[in-house]
Amino acid sequence: MRTRQTPANTRKPPSWDRDAACARLTDPEIMFPGNEPQAIAAAREVCAGCPVQRACLRNVITSEGARRGGARHGIVAGLTGHERWLVYRTLKRRGQLR
């Protein structure tokens, strides 16, 4: 049986290794900006244009778990370590994480 091809079913779903914007950086250290506001903004900008940002956020919140803010490094899914911890804590309190 042949399936009719439409733009919706010919487009490949986003994939980490193929589409992650940070994977294509010539300098991956951009994603580890320390506390410099302009460097943090530059890293956030990389994430803002990333097609796998939602999946990245879901993955990092789960994988980092209850680790405190200081033990979370770099900008991931557009968020600092402390911001990711706040997201984790909020979801946990709402019962939206196991």
Q: Which residues bind ligand SF4 (CB under 6 A)?
A: 20-22, 46-47, 50, 52-53, 56, 76-77
Tell how many helices (H) and how many strands (E) occur in the chain.
5, 0
The CB-of-9 to ligand SF4 minimum distance in angstroms stands at 25
The CB-of-56 to ligand SF4 minimum distance in angstroms stands at 3
Alpha carbons 75 and 56: distance in angstroms, whole number: 11
Bridge partners (DSSP) of residue 2 are none
Tokens 């410099």, residue located: 36
The CB-of-70 to ligand SF4 minimum distance in angstroms stands at 19
Nearer to ligand SF4, 58 or 68 (CB): 58
Nearer to ligand SF4, 16 or 66 (CB): 16
Q: Cα dihedral angle (82, 59, 63, 93), rounded to 10 degrees? A: 60
